[in-house]
Structure 1
Amino acid sequence: MTTPWLHPKTKVYYFRKGVPLRMQPLLGGKKLVQISLGTKDPHEARAAHILMAAEVAKDWAALLEAPRDLPVVPVKMDKKALVTMAGEMYDAEIKKHENGEGPSDQWRKKLMRLQRALPPEERDTDQPLPFTTGWAFSPGRNAILIIGDEIRAFLLSRGIKLTWDCHVLFAQYAASALAQAYRVLERRAKGDFRPDPDRERFPKPVPGTTWQALFEVYCVERKPKASSLKRMRGVLTAFFEFLGHDRPGLVTDDDAIRWKQKRLKEVAIQTVRDADIAHPRALFRFAKANKYLPTNPFADVTVVIKGDKRYDRAGNVKNTRELEYRPEEAEQILRASLVPCGPRMTEEGAAARRWIPWLCAYTGARVNELTQTRAEDIKQMRSRNKKKLIWMIHITPEAGRVKDDDERDVAIHPHLIEQGFLDYVKSREGKCLFYEPSRSRGGTPAHPQYAKVGERIAAWIRSDKVGITDQRISPNHAWRHLVRSQLLDAGIQEQVINGIDGHQAKSVGQKYGRIWPEVSLRAISRIPPYEVD
């Protein structure tokens, strides 16, 4: 049995205990626990030491039994946050017995059991109570003795471990909240169901109490797209699992740095910058702007790695080759698209393999803008002078996901028409061109069926059937780079190219004007036809 240790300089007594080897990893490698007992009186120190030893023993037992992702570093919370959590315990107790069941004397017994944990002005009796005076037997410490297990269970359910002083203060507030709940439940057991006017003393949890609640508010206002929503939720889930709690208000600048350093060891720097840091930063920026949180711990976090020759100053990977397909690679893919598919391939799958590479090569559109195309999106539009009908692909958010929700029309290259693309479109009247919705296997808005078609095309290009295995280029996106280079080489204006491939205008002036069908056809036709066997 350890005894209080007297600090030689401050003359304050401490609780000191060596940490067993099996506990050291759970306590951040600590070999010794040392906690101030807050008193210079030896008698108070001995009483406080017994209480502290019992608490430490319970903490260690809980850590050994708890999942390993729970926090082992205690956090400090302000008084308002502690009272808010005490209010949550009050609400939970009231809700559990909201119908007033049971005899009233059960609540009176529970209330009397709590008297030692309440300050004198909140007690229901004037009689002297044992163990209610002195620092070692303050209301908070008495509350730990009486309802310590309930407090521990509540904090454990929220993944929170408080510093010792916060733990004692929270125990006092929790005891007061439960005493108030017992008084209300006693009245209800007697048939009095009037609302508790003192409930308002507890601050109401704001939407940012948990990151999930804050994220819901964020989504209602910002309305992120399904794909962004899925990725952001995944990053935030992983981040708060890493911390071991779900409270944005407890996140510190050090937490953000630790998260960054962890992820840099696991994934590419662009992923850390564009997802692991960007998504929490966006949520905390929103929380700060809307007064849910006072600070944004990710505000100044950067991920530039100086001295690493693989990356530029912005953290982008330096590529050692061009991002577009070389002529022989483009022809290799287009040649493979003409090979008939096996009998097990669906009609839509075979059509996607046949036409998507050619559409990418002659439009520069994003692959999913093409895989989501419906037969009705292939239509004729009149030229400006109304003398000519021009076949166009209508790229619209109505068919699926389009970046920035900007619809546009792109002329169909004459070589595609020569190959019979319009005949295939006619055969799919009233349907999607490259997938059958009735054969969906659980597609979601975040990962729709047409996106899977694009993924299968990319996998096919990487496979032995085509053989484009260079990992430095993107199988589907490389077409966009190639088409843009071809149009620039043909002298097409950048504003026209942006209107064709869907890039944003660089200036307000470029946003003026419309790319007429004949302008689009004239530009697209400058891409030389591919001649493959």
Structure 2
Amino acid sequence: MARPIKRGTSANWLLKVRVPSDIVDKVQGHVVLPIGGRRTPVAISAGYVEVSLRTSDPDEATLRYAEAHSALLKHWEAVKAGPQPLSKRQAVAVSADAYRERISEIDDADAVTRREAMNADFDKFIVERAESESEERDQLVQSWFEEVIAEQGIDFIAVIAAVLPGSVPPDQEDLALESRYGARVDAALALRGIQSDDASRPSLLREFRRSELLGSKALGRMLEGDFSDEEKPAYFPAFEPPPPPADAAPVKQPQSPRDGDAMSIAQLFEVMREAMLEYVKPSTLRRYQSTIQKLSEFTDHADFRTLTRERIKEWIKHRTSEGISKKTVRNNDLVAVQSVLEFATTDDGGERLKENPIKGLKIKLPRRTKPDHDSRLRHAEIVSILNAASAVKIGGRYPKSSAGNRWTPWLAAYSGARIQELVSLEAEHIRNEGGAWVMDITKTKTDEDRTVPIHEHLIELGFLDYVRSIGKGPLFIDPPEISGRTETASRDASEVRASGVAVFIRSKAKLRPNVDPNHGWRGTWKSIAASFGIEDRYRDAITGHTPGTVGRKYEKPTTTELVEAMKSFRRYQL
């Protein structure tokens, strides 16, 4: 029987549970569990979930264990069941957590003080905005916007979009909604033992925002002594999980094949995954898995050897009819299926196919009506981005995220590195080699680490001082206990943080609509470096681009050479 345990000399009891073997490949990161009345992000590590129950009393530990273990079992079932569509009623029911989280601030004296100050500032802003002349109004709004973002974090754009309709572009609002509420939605669903499908996501995020704002209004009344709607039971319905379809036919599940038995493409993929783990990036295999599972279900788990070119074309039409763009189907789905079927023709794949039935199959995309734009940043855009980054004050609700807004644009400007690579940096990655400061970029698109010199201007600006203030660990990603991210979050933390930087830059800098505020630095840095006479092999090594010829691969520059090359890159003049 599962029960709490103790370890070493610790007085507190622990929960330690093994991840079920049938889903061990699907769970990673964190899961949120109720521990002593608090929602606690718990790491999933080495196939186990382990967390302190925060009590030395055996009876209390038993109660806490039972509650947390029950939530964990619900989470396992949700993972096994897969994403489910949620109705409006269910989305509203789940969003009650945001309402209760906000009004719970009434019991936190510091939170009450902050809330009262924020309410007073907002009331003052509304009065000044109403009394200001039209030409002053835009400047007043911009000033207030910057102050609030500096205090609350860039994801507060999601709230501003609701309070001041039309003030935030839709794409920025969507990114901010995911950044602010995504992890909390995932946690709320996990505690109810369910995962939502992609179509339900926007509704859930917006309901969480609406409930948080309702909670803010209720909290305001509570601060004035009115506790009449503390729970607001009439507004939020009880959550009822989606029932299985009453008349649905049993889903045909693929069975583990014996030699000579039929094998679905999903089963073939499992064979491929085992054989190719050392050669294919885990992220690629995870991406393929979702696509292959969808195809297997579409074909009722038929033997992959019966799949014809026409059958795959039917599936492609089915995917596009679901609203998936042709470009996505071509670049993601078709590539995955091509790879798995091609594997079946190889020795590693047991030569189960003589030839790939969809070899050469292509999806035509609409002809471009406009030529590709120049993806490089113009001088005015560079100045605008770097000035915006320099103005960031590190701190607030998400201190490391704000530090990412402060430093990653500058780091990209002097390295051409991808923002997602930079937000993944840890303090240990910044080191001194031979008297020169460098950064080790370890999370790269190609899975190949590289060492990049840190420009002297960055040191003068205080980047090393910030690194020293962190000591160890991530520089730009807040821990789960602050960010609230869980294992069920749909994107990796570095992806979310990189998107957050893009939202920040879009909200602060003046950019052309078709310029990528993150990726634009790569071409920009290489172009500027070339103008300063930095050799192309040094430019490729610093940005992580593959050398153009086989011979160049034997000319990999040393760190000393890269440091000398970086000295030729002149500092930006703002």
TM range (shorter): 0.5 to 0.7
Deviation string 1:216-263 (CA, Å, 9 cap, x unpaired) is: 111111123232223212222333344444542332110122233444
Shift of 1:444: 7.5
2:312 corresponds to which of 253, 256, 271: 256
Which amino acid in 1 is paired with 2:508? K
1:346–1:527 Cα change, 3 Å: same
Correspondence list, 1:150-169, <5 A: 157-158=251-252
Secondary structure class of the residue paired with 2:446: helix
Counterpart of 1:520, as a letter, is L
In the alignment, does 2:361 pair up with 1:301?
yes
Q: Percent identity?
A: 29
Q: Which of residues 527, 540, 546 in structure 2 aligns to 1:504? A: 546
- Return the offset for 1:295: 4.2
Matched, 1:530 2:563: no
1:460–1:340 distance in 2 versus 1, CA, 3 Å? closer
Equivalent positions of 1:121-270 (< 5 A) are: 157-158=251-252, 204=258, 209-223=263-277, 224-263=280-319, 266-270=323-327
Counterpart of 1:310?
368
Q: Does 1:405 align with 2:465?
A: no
Q: Cα distance, 1:378 vs. partner?
A: 0.8
CA positional deviation for 1:418: 0.9
Larger Rg: 1
Q: Determine the C-alpha separation between the residues in 1 that align with 2:469 and 2:262.
A: 53
Q: 1:208 to 1:326 in 2, by over 3 A?
A: farther
The one of the two structures with greater contact order (alpha-carbon pairs below 8 A, sep at least 6) is: 2
User: Secondary structure of the residue that 2:438 maps to in structure 1?
Assistant: strand
Contact 2:429/2:439 (8 A) holds in 1: yes
CA–CA separation in structure 1 for the residues paired with 2:367 and 2:266: 39
Cα gap change, 1:230/1:340 in structure 2, threshold over 3 Å: closer, same or farther? same
Q: Give, in angstroms, the shift of residue 159 of structure 1.
A: 7.9
1: CA distance, partners of 2:489 / 2:355? 33
Q: Give deviations 1:170-218, integer Å, cap 9, x for gaps.
A: xxxxxxxxxxxxxxxxxxxxxxxxxxxxxxxxx9355871233221111
SS of 2:344's equivalent?
A: helix
Q: 1:351·1:434 contact (CA, 8 Å) conserved in 2?
A: yes
Distance 2:560 2:372 in 1: 38
Answer yes or no: is the 8 Å Cα contact 2:453–2:566 preserved in 1: yes
Residues 444, 511 of structure 1: alpha-carbon distance in 2 compared, 3 angstrom cutoff: farther
2:322 is aligned with 1:276: no
Residue number among 534, 544, 558 corresponding to 1:492 in the alignment: 534
Local SS of the residue matching 1:431: coil
Q: Distance in 1 between matches of 2:303 and 2:387?
A: 55
RMSD: 3.0
Kindly indicate whether the alpha-carbon contact (under 8 Å) linking 2:266 and 2:296 is maintained by their aligned counterparts in 1: no
User: Structure 1 pair 262/329, CA: closer, same or farther in 2 (3 Å)?
Assistant: farther
The aligned residue for residue 469 of structure 2 is 427
Tell whether the 8 Å contact from 1:374 to 1:433 is kept in structure 2 after alignment.
yes
Q: What is the CA-CA distance between 1:425 and the residue it aligns to?
A: 0.8
State the distance in 1 between where 2:520 and 2:283 align.
Answer: 21
Equivalent-residue separation in structure 1 for 2:307 and 2:440 (angstroms): 47
Q: Does structure 1 residue 367 correspond to structure 2 residue 419?
A: yes
- Distance across 2 between alignment mates of 1:451 and 1:235: 20
> Structure 2: how far apart are the matches of 1:486 and 1:287?
46
**Which amino acid counterpart does residue 228 of structure 1 have in structure 2?**
T
Q: How many residues align?
A: 317
Provide the C-alpha distance between the structure 2 equivalents of 1:342 and 1:500, rounded to a whole number of angstroms: 28
- What letter corresponds to residue 342 of structure 2 in structure 1? R
User: What do residues 407-453 of structure 1 show as CA deviations (whole Å, max 9, x unaligned)?
Assistant: 22111111101100010011111222112444361257994322321
Q: Is the 8 A contact 2:392 2:405 kept in 1?
A: no
Give 3-state SS (helix, strand or coil) of 1:363's partner: coil
CA contact (8 A) 2:295 2:315 kept: yes
